Structure 1
Amino acid sequence: MPQLTTYFATLLLASVFSTTAKAASDPAAAERVLEQRCIVCHGCYDAPCQLKLEANEGLVRGGTLAPIYDGTRLRAADLTRLFDDAQSEQEWRAKGFHPVIDREAPEQGVMYRLLELKQENPLPTNEDLTRDFDFSLYRDQTCPTQEEFDSYAREHPLWGMPYGLPGLNQDEHNTLISWLEEGAPAASMDALSAQQQATLQHWETFLNTDDKRSQLVARYLYEHLFLASLYLEVEEQPAWFRLIRSRTGPGQPIDVIATRRPYDDPGAGHFYYRLQRMPTAPLAKTHMPYRLDQARLEEYRELFLGDPWQLDTLPGFDAATTSNPFKRFEAIPVAARYRFLLGEAQFTIMNFIKGPVCRGQIALNVIDDHFWVMFANPDKLDPVEDANFLAREMDNLYLPEPRTGTLLDLLSWRKYAKANRSYHEARAQYIEKELNRDERKLDLDAIWDGDGNNANAALTIFRHFDTASVVKGFVGETPKTAWVISYPLLEKIHYLLAAGFDVYGAVAHQLESRLYMDFLRMEGEFNFLMYLPADERPKLWNYWYRDAPHGARKYFDDSSELSARPSDIEFQTSDPKNELLQTLRGRIHGATAKRYDYHSQASSVTTEALRKLELATGAHNSFLPQVSFLNVISEQRDEAYTLIANSGYSNIAQLFKEQKRRIPAEDSLTVVSGFIGAYPNYFFQVNEKQIPLFAAEVQAMESLGDLAELKARYGVRRDVPWFWHLSDKLHRISREQDGIEFGLFDYNRYAAQ
């Protein structure tokens, strides 16, 4: 039984008597309740029953039993992307989606009855919810139709909505019920300002300019921005857009061209690039804000078209052309492409870290749980950026072509591996040759410092088992590994794991993508090792790849000539890896990540306790959830922190048997101010006076039983009456701290107990 302080009791009363909704007939009020109580479970691609409530269009579409994530799928699934693959309710019915609202008899609608069922059968508190609920991520879906609902209610009386969470308070419930009775009308979007309209027109004019150079640049921009949450101006309530291809031009209603991938053939006839306004709530998992104002338009006009370059013929959309972005965009200067990707490097990486992959264990067990990323300096003529070198090696840089076959094509995989090896052999020889010139060195200046003003130059990536996060700055203690990314590597990451990755694809496509990512990870790690003393490189590589397959060790051996070259950096300590990373942390703009640094924000008591947690590497961290939000309270303070559990592995170069490679003794904990992670696994709420005790109990854990006791004292179970009050508070704090980057959390991974 949690120890409720007077403060907690106050929270409980506040949640019982809260009146968050306005007038019951106000669609905007209903939309706010949907955001706070419904979208937090029905938002991403893996929303239960594919019922995505981030927009009214998702409610109209309804639900289906057909899963998007299926690890046994031998052939690609039918596409069911909201806003893309059907444009009317009738088209969605033809794709197998059943309605969840009934405009003729609203009280018979599935959503209406699920809300009523919860009111009639409130969630019991302080009981073992696993007796009545299945919270596993891959649980069988139960998606009752209107005709099946009576049977569903008899068999599962506690399965009203919100599923496995406290019900809505009376005001919230009345707001949604009245709204459903009126046919669930969509809230109207605010009209665009005159400035927004002008900016929109200028961008669509730029993207549809007729000359060949402009057309190729527009295609390049589209293939890199198709997942972006675009905004034209920074406002309190920004209007969100996405970049799409349309059969109709500017000034006309949009007619979306939906292809499986952004580089697929759009079909016969002329097409246009358009900015489509999106009536969606931002979700932390998929929200990737990207500024598209007038200043950026001028910046890109100068970047891509300011210098003369020639283009006689536009590349086509045949398979041979689309499979290799290096060939497709060869005419655009490499420096312009690299500068474009670097300018918003977090967004570039975020495309594969966030994007539509809501469940990515196969895709993500190819990266470590915590590592730092930096980039080759575009002003130092890094040899792998050299246009002539890339032109010669483009055939060896091609990526696996997404297919819908039934088996993993081992012959194709060997062909990819052979081509990749040829590229790296040529790259090693070329770098060795070019580094003999005085102007090219592998020193600190060879790593991009952000030009003194761009915080995208240093990134931290966290893997949370089957999801991940990427943030600006070097966050946490010195990680086990680090990457240095050059232009070709950055482009390959985008096209393999964002533009070319198909969440609806067959298992063969997903496995091939994961296997190819091994090469990309090793390339980034090897790039970093080149800045360390030559005798340190094999030691670290062997440590990172303990018990790894022969292929991982061979990657290093294939570049042995280059790996023996001395570093151009003089080291002063016996730990050059830590020395280099800490030097770069002080050198690269924004690398100190002050936004996440709790030291300058928390009280001395809280700071000392959190610092002890971070410094205590060991198996006790293995019992913590992957991502926990910690709310520290006192009479003067109400603060939010994130505890990120980083799992240790002997290596991550193997697809299967992940648990056999686990090394709990190497598990660590990263603590940050604010929020990192779209899927909180648990909330802890601790009085500031109890923080030292909380930290001590975390470090003393030896079993799951100890974790259960920790949760009993400080945890917030999903069935406690004040759950929604705390959820609202954390979202409010996140909105205040994160601004334009704010997105709703997803509770599909919240612990059962």
Structure 2
Amino acid sequence: MRRIAALIGLMLVAACAAVVTGSGFASRFGAADTERFDVRVTQLDAPSYEGVIQPILDRRCVVCHACNDAPCQLKATSWEGLARGASKTPVYDATRLLAAAPSRLGIDADKASEWRERDFFAVLNEHAPTVEANRTAGLMHRLLALKQQHPLPAGEVADASLDFSINREASCPAGTQIDAYERTTPLGGMPFGLPGLAADEYRALTRWLELGAPASPARAPTPLALQRVAQWELFFNGDALKQQLFSRYAYEHLFLAHLYFDDDADRQYFKLVRSATPPGQPVQLVRSRRPVDDPGVARVYYRLVPERETIVAKTHMPYALGADRMARWRSLFLDASYSVDTLPGYSAATAANPFATFAALPVGARYRFMLDEAEFTIMGFVKGPVCRGQMALDVIRDRFWVTFMAPTERYDAAMADLLSRDANLLRLPTGHSNTDVLIPWLHYARLENRYLKARTDFYAGELRGPENLDLRLLWDGEGRNANAALTVFRHYDSASVVKGFVGDTPETAWVIGYPLLERIHYLLVANFDVYGNVGHQLNSRLYMDFLRMEGEFNFISMLPRAQRTAVRDRWYRGDSLGTREQVYGGASTTLDVESGIRFRTADVKRELLDQMKTRLAPVLGDGLALSRDAPPALRELAALRGAALQWLPESSVLVVDMPGAPGAPPATFNLLRNTAHGSVSHLLGERRELRPDENTVTVTPGLVGSYPNAFFRATAGELPAMTEAIRRLRSDADYTAFVERWGVRRTSPSFWAVSDAVHARYARDQPLSAGVLDFNRLENR
């Protein structure tokens, strides 16, 4: 009944919003013209949108209003996002019984007027095109002005009436609801919960809004980029069945990528899309919910379209295209000796089983395609739509290392044989939305256990003896590919992945082979529907437990046989025997082959990780390691361990004013708290699994996380005192005192100056990975 009442309430709110939007301002400024912002209109005497307005929006608005988790779905990443407006319906809803209609900017509707039909309301004035109407009926202007009139108390904890939780109810006012909002929420102006715009920024945005929010013509790709687009579209759209199947495979792995051409100095980004029209004609998007869904056209063409939105760090997944890449794919997929007789369809069963869908493509080619850019492959999980919120992330540890099984002709042949016999056991529970959870989970658990038995039997047959179970099984990147070693960080309700083994020896590690890598991608990226119902989302989360355990099994199997159970049991402290045995797929599937690795100490897990570092040393790099020039106190900080760290945020940005010449630029570091758990096998009750005495912290130069929880600032000379203060944290009061001395609160008068400087160094020092940070998870302490 509560669910029904809530739905009725939302319907009434939407209805009221429609009434006030359609009539409240209409009596003063005439009827709304919902087609006003259907196309870009320029105005010569207006501030340049591309040169003036969008940069202001990037610095002050995009930091909260970008991607699926933008408050009220308002995206400030482009003019089209502002023209679309806002909606009170959240994209992320873990309780909905029915799948929601997708609302992807640039995909699910083309014009602002079409978004009005989908319950999006205007934030720009759509009534009479006068200065008064543009100010009064323009919600964006009203909210910016509200912050100017009612700034937050400088430097203090923001008022408790302001809700900063990521699952907060939408409070965005529609139409003349803004009048009541201004009275009841005077501190709710924009930027929300942050300092207001500087005077020159406010004047520029106000002038632009008064003139009717005109746009600039969309920037055209450079001649070089257009030439490369033509070359790649020709490559992706060959008529041979072998070419069509490979292109489908490539698309289903690259659809989230920001593609760029490695010889293009301007580095303009493009998206790979499905179109009903071939190269040379305007793109006609296939608007399917997921990339694996039926396109509804006789022939799909794969096209490259410019990325028109601001690049934001939380979704930025760069991927280079160039002559070497094309030659590599030709060698793997097009010139190889195999045949494709028929193309697979797009049924739910097909979507649920990529191994059957792409069975005609060589297993070794598929694996190498993913390994070549393994960071990108894993990044799809940690930066894609699935990775949002505590419940989605509690399936992984706070920091772990990832390596991969080495692809060889023998491995390829054995994997092909295993998959030809047992691919049906690898079906994923995300082929379609389902309101059931328990029954599908039990079904897929049985399939998983049958596969694990087949896999363990396969390993036992292939490995045979200790001489075959050693570090040579790990991919070394051929001595040059840094994707061979990765570190994954969890930041409670978000995550990051980077190349290399970052930080001290972690608690856990995964070793991933082809079937596991492919399933992670299809479960959490290609098959995941962010608009799906509760069954779809929970089944995705629950199945990921199996995949984590597979990666852990592969690592444990390299330890001495007598030590494997003890390491496994430490990872799953307090769990039942059945849960712990699931790491092996059940008691009957334990791998009995002894490790061929020589161990010299009792701490075999640490020793194995150290030996992995030695094997992969040529590709590890040190880009995220503290340099010799870093203040020594940062090394002391990185060595801290224990319960005091529980008071620190999960991800903090530390700005250090370095010693040197007057005016020397500060340096940026990330403080990443690694929250220890007794187990991560539980969907609920994470707090009970915390082990604060085992907490650690990783300190990196530059930025790793996309969602900073806090900003701190100190001089290099203050770092020893800062480190000691962290060591002595015992309470909220201690942390408050710490923030009073070193914190840059969201209400600080210097907040935007610090933010701008951090973003500038991010773009300078990490140009390929940099994007606008997201401030929706900034703490208020």
**TM-score calculated relative to the size of structure 2:** 0.90
Deviation, 1:693, is 0.2
Q: Letter of the aligned partner of 2:616 in structure 1? A: I
Q: How do 1:625-704 and structure 2 match up within 5 A?
A: 625-636=649-660, 638-704=666-732
2:503 maps to 1:481: no
Deviation, 1:569, is 0.9
Q: 2:77 aligns with which of 28, 47, 54?
A: 54
Which residue of structure 2 aligns with residue 445 of structure 1? Answer: 472
> Could you tell me whether the CA contact under 8 Å between 2:435 and 2:536 is conserved in 1?
no
CA distance in 2, matches of 1:154, 1:236: 51
> Could you tell me whether the CA contact under 8 Å between 2:430 and 2:540 is conserved in 1?
no
CA distance in 1, matches of 2:574, 2:505: 23
For structure 2, the 5+ residue unaligned runs are 1-44
CA distance in 2, matches of 1:153, 1:689: 45
Deviates more, 1:662-671 or 1:138-147: 138-147
Q: How do 1:69-88 and structure 2 match up within 5 A?
A: 69-88=92-111
SS for the counterpart of 1:230 is strand
Q: 1:244 aligns with which of 258, 273, 278?
A: 273
> Could you tell me whether the CA contact under 8 Å between 1:425 and 1:559 is conserved in 2?
no
Q: How do 1:480-519 and structure 2 match up within 5 A?
A: 480-519=507-546
- Structure having greater relative contact order (Cα 8 Å, sep ≥ 6): 1
2:646 maps to 1:622: yes
Deviation, 1:600, is 2.5
SS for the counterpart of 2:54 is helix
CA distance in 2, matches of 1:217, 1:174: 52
Q: How do 1:273-672 and structure 2 match up within 5 A?
A: 273-357=302-386, 359-379=388-408, 381-382=410-411, 386-408=415-437, 410-436=438-464, 441-555=468-582, 556=584, 558=586, 562-588=590-616, 592-602=620-630, 606-607=631-632, 609-636=633-660, 638-672=666-700
Q: Letter of the aligned partner of 1:610 in structure 2? A: L
Which residue of structure 1 aligns with residue 194 of structure 2? Answer: 165
CA distance in 2, matches of 1:540, 1:593: 28
Which residue of structure 2 aligns with residue 109 of structure 1? Answer: 138
User: Deviations 1:56-96 (Å, cap 9, x if unpaired)?
Assistant: 21111100100111222111111111111111111111110
Q: Letter of the aligned partner of 1:298 in structure 2? A: A
Q: Give aligned-pair identity as a percent.
A: 45
Deviation, 1:635, is 4.6
CA distance in 1, matches of 2:160, 2:430: 46
Deviation, 1:236, is 5.3
> Could you tell me whether the CA contact under 8 Å between 2:152 and 2:194 is conserved in 1?
yes
User: Deviations 1:343-376 (Å, cap 9, x if unpaired)?
Assistant: 0000000001101246232221110001000000
User: Deviations 1:109-165 (Å, cap 9, x if unpaired)?
Assistant: 111111122222222214441334221222221111232212211222221111111
Deviation, 1:385, is 5.3
Deviates more, 1:291-300 or 1:453-462: 291-300
CA distance in 1, matches of 2:513, 2:148: 56
Deviates more, 1:367-376 or 1:737-746: 737-746
CA distance in 2, matches of 1:38, 1:738: 22
Deviation, 1:380, is 6.5
Q: Letter of the aligned partner of 1:25 in structure 2? A: P
Quick one: structure 1 residues 593 and 188, their matched pair in 2 at CA, closer, same or farther if it must change by over 3 Å? Answer: farther
> Could you tell me whether the CA contact under 8 Å between 2:258 and 2:319 is conserved in 1?
yes
2:238 maps to 1:209: yes
> Could you tell me whether the CA contact under 8 Å between 1:643 and 1:672 is conserved in 2?
yes
Deviates more, 1:68-77 or 1:92-101: 68-77
CA distance in 1, matches of 2:491, 2:442: 30
CA distance in 2, matches of 1:220, 1:634: 48
Deviation, 1:184, is 2.4
CA distance in 2, matches of 1:58, 1:714: 37
CA distance in 1, matches of 2:476, 2:705: 26
SS for the counterpart of 1:536 is helix
Deviation, 1:24, is 6.5
User: Deviations 1:24-52 (Å, cap 9, x if unpaired)?
Assistant: 71212111101111100101211111001
CA distance in 2, matches of 1:309, 1:437: 33
CA distance in 2, matches of 1:331, 1:507: 34
CA distance in 2, matches of 1:33, 1:234: 30
Deviates more, 1:144-153 or 1:391-400: 144-153
Q: Letter of the aligned partner of 2:548 in structure 1? A: R
Deviates more, 1:154-163 or 1:548-557: 548-557
Q: Letter of the aligned partner of 1:433 in structure 2? A: G
Deviation, 1:514, is 1.1
User: Deviations 1:502-541 (Å, cap 9, x if unpaired)?
Assistant: 1111111111111111110000000011111111100100
Aligned residues: 725
2:114 maps to 1:91: yes
Deviation, 1:421, is 0.8
CA distance in 2, matches of 1:381, 1:182: 68
2:746 maps to 1:718: yes
User: Deviations 1:563-598 (Å, cap 9, x if unpaired)?
Assistant: 331101111222221122122213215654411111
Q: Letter of the aligned partner of 1:533 in structure 2? A: P
CA distance in 1, matches of 2:255, 2:564: 39
Quick one: structure 1 residues 384 and 399, their matched pair in 2 at CA, closer, same or farther if it must change by over 3 Å? Answer: farther
Q: Letter of the aligned partner of 1:572 in structure 2? A: R
Quick one: structure 1 residues 589 and 316, their matched pair in 2 at CA, closer, same or farther if it must change by over 3 Å? Answer: farther
For structure 1, the 5+ residue unaligned runs are 1-22
> Could you tell me whether the CA contact under 8 Å between 1:78 and 1:504 is conserved in 2?
yes
2:773 maps to 1:745: yes
> Could you tell me whether the CA contact under 8 Å between 2:657 and 2:714 is conserved in 1?
yes
Deviation, 1:599, is 3.2
Which residue of structure 1 aligns with residue 55 of structure 2? Answer: 32
SS for the counterpart of 2:515 is helix
Quick one: structure 1 residues 380 and 552, their matched pair in 2 at CA, closer, same or farther if it must change by over 3 Å? Answer: farther
User: Deviations 1:289-336 (Å, cap 9, x if unpaired)?
Assistant: 011223322221122112110111111112222221000000100110
Q: Letter of the aligned partner of 2:393 in structure 1? A: L
**TM-score calculated relative to the size of structure 1:** 0.93
SS for the counterpart of 1:596 is coil
Quick one: structure 1 residues 363 and 327, their matched pair in 2 at CA, closer, same or farther if it must change by over 3 Å? Answer: same
Q: Letter of the aligned partner of 1:47 in structure 2? A: A
Which residue of structure 1 aligns with residue 39 of structure 2? Answer: none
Quick one: structure 1 residues 565 and 724, their matched pair in 2 at CA, closer, same or farther if it must change by over 3 Å? Answer: same
> Could you tell me whether the CA contact under 8 Å between 1:629 and 1:641 is conserved in 2?
yes
SS for the counterpart of 2:552 is helix
Quick one: structure 1 residues 62 and 557, their matched pair in 2 at CA, closer, same or farther if it must change by over 3 Å? Answer: closer
Q: Letter of the aligned partner of 1:626 in structure 2? A: E
Quick one: structure 1 residues 404 and 429, their matched pair in 2 at CA, closer, same or farther if it must change by over 3 Å? Answer: closer
CA distance in 2, matches of 1:738, 1:84: 30
Quick one: structure 1 residues 189 and 455, their matched pair in 2 at CA, closer, same or farther if it must change by over 3 Å? Answer: farther
CA distance in 1, matches of 2:294, 2:396: 32
Which residue of structure 1 aligns with residue 42 of structure 2? Answer: none
CA distance in 1, matches of 2:703, 2:297: 46
SS for the counterpart of 1:610 is helix
Deviation, 1:662, is 1.1
Deviation, 1:183, is 2.9
Q: Letter of the aligned partner of 2:724 in structure 1? A: A
> Could you tell me whether the CA contact under 8 Å between 1:548 and 1:654 is conserved in 2?
no
